[in-house]
Structure 1
Amino acid sequence: MHGIDKTNAVRRLLWASLMVSTAWIAPLSASASDSAVSYGPYNAAILAGGDGLAKPLAGASLPAGGPWTLSTWFQADEIAPGTVLIAGVGDPAQGRYLALSGGKLALRTGAGEAITGGTAVKAGIWHHALASIDGKTARLFLDGAEVAHGPAAQNAVAPVVGLAPRAGGAFAGRIAGFTVTAKALSADEAKSAAQGKPDASLINFEAASPTWPVQVKQMMGQVTPQDAWTLPKSNAAFSKPVAKPLPTGPALKADGPPGSDNNWTVGGWRLAEAPTVRGDGARISQPGFDTGSWYVATVPGTVLTTLVDRGVYPDPDHGLDNLAIPESLNKQDYWYRTEFDAPATLAGRHPLLTFKGINYAAEVWLNGERLGGVRGAFIRGQFDVTGRLRPGQKNVLAVRISPPPHPGLPHEQSIAAGVGENGGMQALDGPTFIASEGWDWIPAVRDRNTGLWQEVTLTATGPVRIGDSQVVTKLPLPDTSKADVTITVPVENLTNQPVQAEIRAGFDDVTVAKTVTLAPGSGSVTLSPAEFPQLSVKNPKLWWPNGLGEPALHGLTLTAVVTDAQGGGAKSDEKHTRFGIREVSYELSLMDSGGHVRRVEIDPTLAPGQQVVDGSHTGIHKIAGGWVSSLVPGAEKSPAVKPLEESSLAPYMVLKVNGVRVPARGGSWGTDDWRKRVSRERLEPFFRLHREAHVNIIRNWVGQNTEDVFFDLADEYGLMVLNDFWESTQDYNIEAQDVPLFLDNAADVIRRYRNHPSIVLWFGRNEGVPQPVLNEGLEKLVTTLDGTRYYSGSSNRVNLQDSGPYDYRDPSLYFTKLSRGFAVEVGTPSFPTLEAFEAAVPEADRWPLSDNWAYHDWHQSGNGDTHGFMAAMDRKLGAATSLADFERKAQLMNYESHRAIFEGMNAGLWTVNSGRLLWMTQPAWPSTNWQIMSHDYDTHGAFYGVQKAAEPLHVQLNAPDDAVAVVNNTRTAAKGLSLRARVLTVDGKTVSDRSQKVDAPVDAATVVTTLDLAAALQANGLVLVELELADAKGTVSQNVYWRVADEASTRHLNDLAPQPVTVTTTAERAGDEIKVHVTLTNTGTGAALMNKLTLQNADGSRLLPAYASDNYISLLPGDRRELTIAYPAALAQGRPKVALRGWNTQPATAVVAVP
């Protein structure tokens, strides 16, 4: 994330800015002398589907009268129907332009088509066009001969040259020598100008649709230590470190079912700073080496996690305690060491040590021998330790780990220092956690996430070892009643002789087996429906994104059995994995080899291993309104490419799963946890909260979340993943210096995670295309190692919307202007709950704003500058008088703006919008900005605004036109629904109350009526609107809005009198959870807004995680709402209770009777 707010209006703004006349520019001469002012020549190459060019002239606006001449050579690639502008001056709608009309030369002078004449020009041939006006008569010349003349009606035009502007039709071809002259050329001069056709080989044509540029600038982050007086300051002392209980368990823990003897997790690790350790790897990895002074290590985990867990440093999540931890942690190496007894059953087998994730580089030693090295945070280190591991004996494993070599210097956010840069030098290191140098959503992590951050495992096999399998599923779309499942099993013969083996595969009720003879070394075995009909699965359970169906997963067991001459056999290896039966395709606008932009659907699964899209720098072209990739020459005939007739969303991408368009709603994850504490227990509540918010897509920003559990949970919760690799913003962040290392890490990631159905797309870089050698390498890897997903070099702009905005904007703009198309990053301030903020910030620094606020990302500058949010709060609701008052007002704004982001997407669904992702949904640490939940699982107004807007069946009030729309996000039509719309004043008086029957077609936002609020707003300034949608079973969607005549009228919300709302609860046990059923009833005479429920323990502390079906609920007089809050039964301390507060609600508490 980094960038400037840009929208589809850029092109219009460019023309507008170029057309502004400035007093200091010399006026264009109206003289007829030979010294008349002349501009040009201009040369341009224009693609049919590309953009035109706009060039400012060094002169004032061209006057309405006076002589002038337009002259150019042009060569049309094709003769387009209708009128197309070739070249001219001024706004394309009002200026003076040479044009083709029905293939004939024409002159337009601002009042439409002025004159047309001659015969139709021919494509592929150079023609000369000239228009001469003497102030009274316009003459038009083609190839030196006059073909038409007429009155010289003309407007004053701005000093802007337009070359093939996109106004109606589009000229395609080349323009040579276009000039604008303040003189009316004679017929002889026109004839002379048409002599000698241009030699195109000697002309440097400017491309109107340039290809993607390479990086030309970069920043290096904090290059000198920050000025001491700008460092953040606190009124509270650092917290005292608190040690956690030591981990327990065996150093070698068997994985799998009881009796399993081929998979273990290696534990029992100890940690020491390398400078304090005497001895090399050979000595350290021998029994008897003294580690009594070493720390008991937290593995998986980083060095800093261990040091915090052991009580060396305070928890950096809190306050400014990160400043109590030295930067020296990222400037030294570390030793990890463990001792374990290897099972005697390993004798005669082939053991393999696997390091699932080490950051950044490591040397590995076992029993005094160096096994090798690992570089990069995302590649597995795998070592065959046959002959080196000692079965039935004690073994010693030692690992020396080095941090990223370019850790950079931290910028510590404060009010005085501002937000600082995003990252810096560490980007040089490529595949690592580049955000750990510090970004505008986390401070610098002191160890830069160095350590054994993922598991270490030991596996044992016979002579045949199974590698990373690939499961490809194909559906005969749109038919989903059958799925072809093809399984490719990489196998390795570990002996020096041929081996006969049977490769077995089983999932659900399907089993297949194939006997093969394996030569020494690596190979692969393919199990396909062509050979095994049972792999054509009837009525398969499909994997669907959240909200469209169940994300069904299938467990696959692969077994290699080595057979003998007598037909017997012994199991050599067995692997278990999961896959989903699903097929992903993409609607895109792509440029073909003829320069036309075609709207097509790309389904890579239909042509595995075949590259059909060219995403190289030379394959990406600028067009009007954006950038597009290209079709590889001849790809139009590929089975993976299907032409589309409908193009309203061009050039933006549409994601399709199983043939169904998916409205992509979700957000980016900068990183799951800034210290890479990524156990399933820690991460699963975040995934569940995303599902509860009704989002269906998350983005693995810069690949910072690339670990097993992330993709496992995304699969299980039906969350599609846009998966980045490890470079960030072009022309801002430094590019990786070791491309081979980067590609090695990328290849391992693709092989490792390609079976996860949640991954739907690979991005090469955040906000920009990687350097050519890396971009083309990544595209090739995705094609060859995956072959079922689309690769795009950039996470934005190329068939996508640009990034941003990230600061507060008027919520109505999300309906009309902001983040249209497929927008991967849109953010707005998102202050946490009062309780979450108080848990993260010491009391002395909570109010008023302090450096602690700034350190926890309440930015005073940069992309996320919160001044606009606070100024809007002051204008709309009045200045906050305390922290509690600020939080109360912030939650109302959070709810309103986040609801508007996704309701705005709904309003233009499938017409102008196909996807919208927040920056961001996941909090990497206790932040105050860009999140819909807190680091401790608390959920605030932003979460419930998203949950409301993205609900499966939804009713909403569009802005600014007050149209009422019913949104159906499901795959089932809803008919005969009842819609009720009530409008009330702030004192509870009914302005209107009407009902009607409506239908909700599948996958659509349907406007069913429009509310006329003008008179009520004029009379009252502010009204409350409640929309309720119901089916035969009851309410399916309810939504309350406050509509205002002007921004200042929002202050009428302060006039709402306190209202009594009753809270009643019942509870039930559901497996490991307690479900609390809550009923809220507004028994008052006025509206009660933003009723917020907090589940608490008996002592008043928050009970988290808690999963509420609704919250921040607004109730009109007499309204009754039911919701459910679920929580893990094991977490409750005493009898839980539900606390209620709201905008104008009298606080209340209800104790929960748990059965």
Structure 2
Amino acid sequence: DLGTICRINKVKLFWGEEFARSYQIQFSTDKRNWRSLYSTNEGKGGIEEIKLTTATAKYVRLYMTDGISEHYSLAEMEVYGTGGVIPKQEAVPYMGKEGAYYLTGGNWKVQRASLVKLDGLEVSDPVFDDRDWIIATVPGTVLTSYLNIGAIPDPNFGDQQLQISDAFFTADFWYRTTFIVPNKYKEKRIWLNLNGINWKADVFVNGHRVGDIKGAFIRGKFDITPYVVSGEKACIAVYIHKNDTPGQITVQSLNSAGKNGGVLGADNPTIHASVGWDWLPTMRGRNIGIQDDVFISATNDVSLIDPFIISDLPLPDLFSADLTLRVELQNHSDRACKGKLMGIINPGNIRFSRSVSLNAFEHRDLVLDKNTLPQLCIENPDLWWPNGYGEQNMYSLELSFVANGGVSDKKTIPFGIREMSYDESDGVLKTYVNGTRIFFRGGNWGLSESMLRLDKEGYDVRVRLHKEENFNMIRNWVGMTGDEDFYRACDKYGVMVWDDFWLANPGDGPNPNDEKMFMKNAVDKIKHFRNHPSIALYCGRNEGNPPETLNKALREQTSLLDGTRLYIPHSATGTVSGFGPYSVQNPRHYFKIRTHRKLHSEMGMPNIPSIESMKKMLPEDKYWPVNDVWGLHDFCIHSAQGASGFMNAVNRYGKASDLQDFCKKAQMVNMENHKAMFESFVGAQSNGMLMWMSQSAWPSTVWQTYDYYLDQTAGYYGCKKALEPLHILWDSQLDKVKVANNTRQGYKNLIAEVLIYNMDGTLMLRDSVRLDSGSDTVTDCMSIVYPKKLSPVHFIKLELKDGNKIIADNFYWRGNKYQEYSDLSNMLPADLQYSLYREKSGGKVFLTVDIKNAGKNIALMTRLKVLRDRSKERVLPV
């Protein structure tokens, strides 16, 4: 798929050992009617270059009829010609916070390095002619740029990933842009900042090499003062190096997801997940590119480096907070400098200053606390709490260094006042925030998006969905996300971060080849993000221990550079646990295996999206029955997700007959089992569980709560119900009703009530008990004694009341024969009525829908969706 109608004049074929002798090169404008413009019975293998009479087409394919063996092996097909989509450049450089000039969007171009014959000194000359380069998306991967101009099909749809050449994109690439240096930078020291590239880069400005970047998670900052002039045109050229060990493509099938990870791990820190896992295909080119912001900034001679604010609460007293400020000062000049470090903390308008003298080229680590600055003791602070335990109050420190009558450098640092503490004395990790034990509930976030395309709004909505799901932790699995906007969203919504470094399970990839590069990236990661109150934990390796040299260095650096968070080496042993399971079990099984209170890092199951989302990811001819394109989208029978077990669970509701029927029944499985998965941890008063996975990086059928298109599955609502801070639940293994209180508030004289209904809506049992529910407790309320004459499938409704007010409720279906639910297909229709209310507030429109069951028949698993009036497309997220 060339993306649009193009004129084609040449095709190159790169054969493997088994090549076609007889083949045709065919063209189409509509993908239905094909014509052959070249055919041969004398294919020679190797590299064949075929010059063509110019053809016009949108689609090109190779049709092979005879080979030297039963198989064909084609490494790459290149199509040459003219034409194509010229995208509109919507973003232009802009002046951002603290006077930074962001080069997002603008004039960026990208080109495969093999097609550029000049070196960086010439490519970075402002007059260099880049008209034959393609328009680049920055920030963005190389693959994203080619997708956005229509040069490749969307790899997220159907099996179109197989149409994209891995050999073409697994290569070095040049990026280039020109811009006018802002006049306001005159007589300033000018800095070029690149907040993230993958994998390594050489950086050139106006015909000069200014430095390099090594590793995907380190910031690059370069003094370009000698090479640019305010008010004049400048050029930046960035040479992106492909990975040294990119590994091979893994193609999933219905039968198997194939191997997780691979040799790409030797290049860590890189986007290791891009080589392919059982939840993500192999990304062509491994997501190399400029993945984060590029901007110009300016200072005078003294700059501020990575200020860090530490808060200390004299627990259990929460009525004051002692702050410690750590900041590095660098004098870049050959002259001594005297000045003042000045700060303003808001809210509160708390001001302080400290005189500082720096020798020529001196680098100073400065530490200030209430002993040196009494203003750093804050009375009655507004504290930051995890979701479900309190508000997410944030403060801001405006820090500047003033010398020679002007501001040399200025930074604004958002921070939260809260104190983390840990207890591992009994072999179980217990974590406290502001003195309160936290029950962690959340999920693993494996990758932000398949091609790293999330922006601020993209992170915000996804983390908000976590908050509204009653989650309070995201595990940044193998450290695959390194964007400031991710951490900011976690701060905003009270979702704490279990922060991994870049080491996958030892079986999923080798140890990194360059430990020095690894640790430079690790040091920068810690210093870059340590002010975020949401970070709760550092972890060295997924499901294994780091090499001892790295383990020692990571432990030392997290302590030295941070010192406020715990470091653990292994994600699944020691004082925490893990290792799944990853396939659907059953509610009783989840409750049965909860024999310890450790924070469990991974447990999940397939999670089929709605039928609308399934149709959006699959071609129509692959809807039903399940097939290998489902397998490409992670529905694999003999791999960790155990798709066959999920099919069996669906068929307990009656054998699925088509995609519509399958998706409907899949939501029943999603709801029942996701709820039980979390309730088993809630009812055991454990230290928490993180599901595998909560974030969907691409259109998938497994391990998610909302799907790639941001539509919540029934599994989302199962998790949301199970994780209410105050919760009443049914332990189906013990047939007991329990109340779990994961709040800071205690309750007296509550009523727990159980009601059982037959399928026709007849009330068969009502029982109740009074109880007190203290903060951070689980209370056994009663055992359920089932009445006789229950219908084959019946319903359990739980209510927790404070007086006459229902403060928590729950609902289950149960079969007289365990998990035999086929009778649900005989339910009579319910009489659902609704009212819609519209309100305006703060410039926004809010819709409220009230649903009423006006009849006697039970309405089970009612799904609401909002559609656009004309197109009937879903409005997402809602």
The two structures have a TM-score, normalised by structure 1, of 0.67
Counterpart amino acid of residue 548 in structure 1: Y
Following the alignment from structure 1 to structure 2, what is the Cα–Cα distance between the partners of residues 1019 and 388?
83
Q: Which one of the candidate residues 460, 475, 480 is aligned to 1:699?
A: 475
What is the CA-CA distance between 1:1034 and the residue it aligns to?
Answer: 3.7
Show the counterpart of 2:701.
928
Q: Which one of the candidate residues 671, 678, 691 is aligned to 1:918?
A: 691
What is the CA-CA distance between 1:335 and the residue it aligns to?
Answer: 0.8
Q: 3-state DSSP class of the match of 2:800?
A: strand
Following the alignment from structure 1 to structure 2, what is the Cα–Cα distance between the partners of residues 1070 and 979?
37
Following the alignment from structure 2 to structure 1, what is the Cα–Cα distance between the partners of residues 677 and 156?
29
Show the counterpart of 2:735.
962
Show the counterpart of 2:88.
246
Q: After superposition, where does 1:796-835 map in structure 2 within 5 Å? A: 796-818=572-594, 820=596, 821-835=598-612
Show the counterpart of 2:620.
843
Larger Rg over CA atoms: 1
2:162 paired with 1:323 = yes
Tell me, yes or no, if the aligned pair for 2:305 and 2:329 is still in contact at 8 Å.
Answer: yes
2:409 paired with 1:578 = no
The share of aligned pairs that are identical, in percent, is 35
Counterpart amino acid of residue 824 in structure 1: S
Q: Which one of the candidate residues 730, 755, 758 is aligned to 1:985?
A: 758
CA distances 1:823-872 after superposition (whole Å, capped 9, x unpaired):
00001111111111111111110111011110000111121121111123
Structure 1 1087/228 Cα, relative in aligned 2: closer, same or farther at 3 Å? farther
Following the alignment from structure 2 to structure 1, what is the Cα–Cα distance between the partners of residues 229 and 795?
75
Show the counterpart of 1:739.
515
Q: After superposition, where does 1:248-287 map in structure 2 within 5 Å? A: 248-250=90-92, 252-256=93-97, 261=99, 263-265=101-103, 267-287=106-126
Following the alignment from structure 2 to structure 1, what is the Cα–Cα distance between the partners of residues 793 and 770?
27
Following the alignment from structure 1 to structure 2, what is the Cα–Cα distance between the partners of residues 499 and 987?
84
Q: Which one of the candidate residues 514, 517, 521 is aligned to 2:357?
A: 517
Q: After superposition, where does 1:83-482 map in structure 2 within 5 Å? A: 245-250=87-92, 252-256=93-97, 261=99, 263-265=101-103, 267-416=106-255, 418-482=256-320
Show the counterpart of 2:341.
503
Per mean C-alpha deviation after superposition, the further-off stretch among 364-373 and 675-684 is 675-684
CA distances 1:879-904 after superposition (whole Å, capped 9, x unpaired):
10111111111100100001001111
Show the counterpart of 2:779.
1006
Counterpart amino acid of residue 398 in structure 2: T
Q: 3-state DSSP class of the match of 1:714?
A: helix
Tell me, yes or no, if the aligned pair for 2:682 and 2:688 is still in contact at 8 Å.
Answer: no
Show the counterpart of 1:723.
499
Tell me, yes or no, if the aligned pair for 1:932 and 1:943 is still in contact at 8 Å.
Answer: yes
Following the alignment from structure 1 to structure 2, what is the Cα–Cα distance between the partners of residues 419 and 773?
33
Counterpart amino acid of residue 741 in structure 2: N
What is the CA-CA distance between 1:249 and the residue it aligns to?
Answer: 4.2
Q: 3-state DSSP class of the match of 1:773?
A: helix
Structure 1 1040/777 Cα, relative in aligned 2: closer, same or farther at 3 Å? same
Tell me, yes or no, if the aligned pair for 2:445 and 2:694 is still in contact at 8 Å.
Answer: yes
CA distances 1:1053-1088 after superposition (whole Å, capped 9, x unpaired):
223222221122112123354322112222222222
Q: 3-state DSSP class of the match of 1:1096?
A: coil
Tell me, yes or no, if the aligned pair for 1:967 and 1:1005 is still in contact at 8 Å.
Answer: yes
What is the CA-CA distance between 1:687 and the residue it aligns to?
Answer: 0.8
Following the alignment from structure 1 to structure 2, what is the Cα–Cα distance between the partners of residues 654 and 335?
49
Structure 1 243/791 Cα, relative in aligned 2: closer, same or farther at 3 Å? farther
Show the counterpart of 1:71.
none
Show the counterpart of 2:865.
1094
Counterpart amino acid of residue 246 in structure 1: K
Structure 1 1073/672 Cα, relative in aligned 2: closer, same or farther at 3 Å? farther
Tell me, yes or no, if the aligned pair for 1:246 and 1:296 is still in contact at 8 Å.
Answer: no
Following the alignment from structure 2 to structure 1, what is the Cα–Cα distance between the partners of residues 319 and 19?
67
Show the counterpart of 1:877.
653
Q: After superposition, where does 1:3-18 map in structure 2 within 5 Å? A: none
Structure 1 337/438 Cα, relative in aligned 2: closer, same or farther at 3 Å? same
Following the alignment from structure 1 to structure 2, what is the Cα–Cα distance between the partners of residues 827 and 427?
24
Q: 3-state DSSP class of the match of 1:813?
A: helix
Q: 3-state DSSP class of the match of 1:1089?
A: coil
2:876 paired with 1:1040 = no
- Stretches of structure 1 that go unaligned for 5 or more consecutive residues are 1-223, 230-235, 564-568, 589-598, 600-649, 1108-1155
Structure 1 225/480 Cα, relative in aligned 2: closer, same or farther at 3 Å? farther
Following the alignment from structure 1 to structure 2, what is the Cα–Cα distance between the partners of residues 659 and 1031?
27
Show the counterpart of 1:658.
434
Tell me, yes or no, if the aligned pair for 2:649 and 2:669 is still in contact at 8 Å.
Answer: no
Q: Which one of the candidate residues 698, 701, 716 is aligned to 1:943?
A: 716
Following the alignment from structure 1 to structure 2, what is the Cα–Cα distance between the partners of residues 758 and 788?
12
Structure 1 305/1033 Cα, relative in aligned 2: closer, same or farther at 3 Å? farther
Counterpart amino acid of residue 1053 in structure 1: L
Show the counterpart of 1:861.
638
Tell me, yes or no, if the aligned pair for 1:262 and 1:461 is still in contact at 8 Å.
Answer: no
Following the alignment from structure 2 to structure 1, what is the Cα–Cα distance between the partners of residues 448 and 514?
26
Following the alignment from structure 2 to structure 1, what is the Cα–Cα distance between the partners of residues 705 and 756?
29
Q: 3-state DSSP class of the match of 2:837?
A: strand
Show the counterpart of 2:382.
541
Show the counterpart of 1:765.
541
The two structures have a TM-score, normalised by structure 2, of 0.88
Q: 3-state DSSP class of the match of 1:448?
A: helix
Structure 1 925/731 Cα, relative in aligned 2: closer, same or farther at 3 Å? closer
Tell me, yes or no, if the aligned pair for 1:225 and 1:409 is still in contact at 8 Å.
Answer: no
Tell me, yes or no, if the aligned pair for 1:506 and 1:558 is still in contact at 8 Å.
Answer: yes
Q: Which one of the candidate residues 790, 794, 812 is aligned to 1:1023?
A: 794
Counterpart amino acid of residue 808 in structure 1: V
Q: Alignment length, in residue pairs?
A: 802
RMSD: 2.2
Q: 3-state DSSP class of the match of 1:328?
A: helix
Following the alignment from structure 1 to structure 2, what is the Cα–Cα distance between the partners of residues 1037 and 1028?
6
- Stretches of structure 2 that go unaligned for 5 or more consecutive residues are 1-14, 21-29, 33-57, 61-83
Per mean C-alpha deviation after superposition, the further-off stretch among 651-660 and 933-942 is 651-660
Following the alignment from structure 2 to structure 1, what is the Cα–Cα distance between the partners of residues 735 and 852?
28
Structure 1 237/472 Cα, relative in aligned 2: closer, same or farther at 3 Å? farther
Following the alignment from structure 1 to structure 2, what is the Cα–Cα distance between the partners of residues 255 and 673?
25
Show the counterpart of 1:779.
555
Following the alignment from structure 1 to structure 2, what is the Cα–Cα distance between the partners of residues 1106 and 331?
35
Show the counterpart of 2:50.
none
Counterpart amino acid of residue 1040 in structure 1: F
2:264 paired with 1:491 = no
Tell me, yes or no, if the aligned pair for 1:263 and 1:460 is still in contact at 8 Å.
Answer: no
Structure 1 333/663 Cα, relative in aligned 2: closer, same or farther at 3 Å? same
Show the counterpart of 2:76.
none
Following the alignment from structure 1 to structure 2, what is the Cα–Cα distance between the partners of residues 499 and 545?
43
2:839 paired with 1:1062 = no
Q: Which one of the candidate residues 509, 526, 536 is aligned to 1:750?
A: 526
Following the alignment from structure 1 to structure 2, what is the Cα–Cα distance between the partners of residues 407 and 1012?
60
What is the CA-CA distance between 1:376 and the residue it aligns to?
Answer: 0.4
Following the alignment from structure 2 to structure 1, what is the Cα–Cα distance between the partners of residues 693 and 389?
23
What is the CA-CA distance between 1:1051 and the residue it aligns to?
Answer: 2.4
Tell me, yes or no, if the aligned pair for 2:801 and 2:807 is still in contact at 8 Å.
Answer: yes
Following the alignment from structure 1 to structure 2, what is the Cα–Cα distance between the partners of residues 818 and 798?
17
Show the counterpart of 1:792.
568
What is the CA-CA distance between 1:660 and the residue it aligns to?
Answer: 0.6
What is the CA-CA distance between 1:1102 and the residue it aligns to?
Answer: 4.1
2:513 paired with 1:672 = no
CA distances 1:260-283 after superposition (whole Å, capped 9, x unpaired):
645544542111111122311111
Q: 3-state DSSP class of the match of 1:286?
A: coil
What is the CA-CA distance between 1:975 and the residue it aligns to?
Answer: 3.0
Per mean C-alpha deviation after superposition, the further-off stretch among 827-836 and 972-981 is 972-981
Counterpart amino acid of residue 710 in structure 1: F
